[in-house]
Amino acid sequence: MTRSAAAFLVGTATDIGRKREKNEDRAYADEAAGIFLVVDGMGGRAAGEQAADIAIGMIPTELERAKGPIETRVRTAIAAANNEIFHRAQTRPDWKGMACVLTLAVAHEDKLVVGHVGDSRLYLAWTGRLRKLTADHSPVGEREDRGDLTEEEAMRDPLRNVVFRDVGSRPHEPLDEGFIETRTYPFRPDAAFLLCTDGLSDSLTNAAINAVVQRYDGDPQQIAQQLVEAANDAGGQDNISVIFVAGPEFQGSEGRVVAEARARHSVTRMRRSGWLTKAMGKLAWLIAGAVLGAAGWAEVERFLIPAVVGVPQSARIDVDAASPDALRLAMRAAKPGSIIAVAPGVYNGPLDLRDGVTIENAKLGDAPVLRGLVLARDVRDARIDGLHIEAGDGNGLVFRNSTVEVNDTEITGASGCGIRIEGASQIRLRADSIHDNQCGLMIEGASSVRLTGSRIAQNRTAFEIHVPGQLSADGNSIDRNGAVLAGDDADAVLAGLRQHNEISGGTPQ
């Protein structure tokens, strides 16, 4: 098997948890071969342990022995383990029905090839975010992925541990439909990935897991152990297994290196009245030697375009201003992974975002202008780069139960809010200019927002935040607003804003 060129740093931890009498989890990491595998045994008594042991014992060997493309080898290895578990289960009554779920990641050249069955998980950590790459093969997991359940509701659901795919309960061929989910992702040296069993993901939210991952400072074993400890502190209801794999250039956004860089480089950015020109030389976030400059936010290389085996990767859709409705029509045609490249001009809203779609300025310089509302309802992993949104009546952008990034974008003229965030959304705003709106940014529900390097100016109210909504803001310029803050827990939020941002003009509340 061709080895990966990346020099991975790997931490592995597994624990029985606080409630179980035995550990049916297994974790396997061979960084030299680029093979990483977590297994969660099922079946009761000793059967779950037996199934997990068979999977761990067979899959690395079968990967080396199998022929053909790496995706084929992954399928062949998992199917071989499946059939051996099924065969062994017929030999003893107390092993009857034993099985396991698993997630296998193989680093192959500059790609990560994933084979997945069940509700263990693979996450990607990159640019401060943690993204779940695998789907839970369970009724509750499907409802969560569709947005019918929030993450917290899914974690509490009594059917959370019911899966409809497993390894070992019946014979399978490698290409059987509804058996192995296989995906291929590019992998960069400044990213990290995390494999875990449901003992972690059923105990900690995505945000809680990410908070630990982003403290990474070069010791992957410490991160793996801290994740296990955090799951135990949250109750430890199940066995917990974690493999944390950091690329050689990965640094956590809350780690020591990045914290020192922030102290040296205050991030300020304006788009109008000469502020952008002045700030471009100052916008320097040093992450393991990589400088993301002022023009960089809109031009950062897209890291992750998942390729399901047999399905074409993303398509670029070019849009020009010959028709003011061209952007809306392009969005209707877009699929997950599509990049809509918008030429300068004026376009009509409203615009409904879709899962996995990026809208970007096709050229450096003048930003395309969108007049009207941009709406994301139950949307995952959408992105807006380099637009100018003229809101007019109502709100500029509304995100409801969605995960969206907005970079290098100007939002102005809203009679409501420049950006309104509702439900259980996770939003990242970077190097944006939110100005001359009734309200700059409103956060409601259980949403969390990360705001960096942006300008919030000349709004009647800069922020309106309602518990349990959360705002993490640093390196922003907040100036000449009628009021800085309205909503709940104003004193605590305002103290944080003052500590990490530049505030001038406007009353505190």
Q: What percent of the chain has pLDDT over 70?
A: 84
Domain end position, chosen among 212, 246, 280: 246
Q: Are residues 135 and 234 in the same domain?
A: yes
**Alpha carbon 285 to its chain's center:** 20
- SS3 of 196-223: the string is ECHHHHCCCCHHHHHHHHCCCCCCHHHH
The answer to whether residue 263 sits within a structural domain is: no
* Same domain, yes or no: 328 and 462: yes
Residues 113 and 190 placed together within one structural domain of the fold:
yes
**Which long-range contacts does 455-462 make (Cβ < 8 Å, 24+ apart)?**
455/268, 455/269, 455/270, 455/271, 455/275, 455/479, 456/481, 457/270, 457/433, 457/481, 459/418, 459/434, 459/435, 461/485, 461/486, 462/506
- Specify the CATH number for the domain of residue 405: 2.160.20.10
Residue 195 belongs to domain spanning? 9-246
Q: Is residue 4 part of a domain?
A: no
Residue at 277 is within a domain: no
Residue 259 belongs to some domain of the structure:
no
Among 246, 265, 298, the domain-final residue is 246
Q: Would residue 218 be called left, alpha or beta, if left means φ above 0 and alpha means ψ between -120 and 50 degrees? A: left
Task: Write the DSSP symbol of residue 263.
Answer: H
- Greater model confidence, 36 or 268: 36
pTM of structure = 0.56
Residue 233 and residue 328 in one domain: no
Are 63 and 198 found together in one domain?
A: yes
Q: What is the CATH number of the domain that holds 194?
A: 3.60.40.10
257 within domain boundaries: no
Last residue of one domain, picked from the residues 194, 223, 246 = 246
Q: Are residues 241 and 329 in the same domain?
A: no
Q: What pLDDT digit, counting tens, does each position of 42-51 carry? A: 976 568 999 9
Largest pairwise CA distance in the chain: 78
Number of domains into which the chain is organized = 2
Render pLDDT for 342-356 as a digit per residue (tens, 0 to 9): 999 999 989 999 999
| 213 and 324 together in one domain | no
320 lies in the same domain as 207:
no
- Torsions phi, psi for 91 (to 5 deg): -90, -15
Q: What is the DSSP string of 136-180?
A: P-SHHHHHHHHTSS-HHHHHH-TTTT--S--BSSS---TT-TTT-
CA distance 259 to 465: 26
Q: For residues 229 and 339, state if they share a domain.
A: no
Closest residue by Cα to residue 503 from 466, 456, 459, 435: 456
Domain-embedded: residue 484: yes
Task: Give yes or no: residues 241 and 347 share one domain.
Answer: no
pLDDT tens per residue across span 478-509:
889 988 888 776 666 777 788 788 888 655 55
Count of CB atoms situated within 10 Å of the CB of 152: 12
Q: Two tokens at 393?
A: 């009546």
411-435 tens-digit pLDDT: 999 999 999 999 999 999 988 999 9
Find, among 242, 5, 243, the residue nearest to 111 by Cα: 5
Domain membership of residue 239 (yes or no) is yes
Whether residue 397 is found in the same domain as residue 500: yes
CA 370 to chain centre: 27
Please indicate, yes or no, if residue 265 is contained in any of the structural domains. no
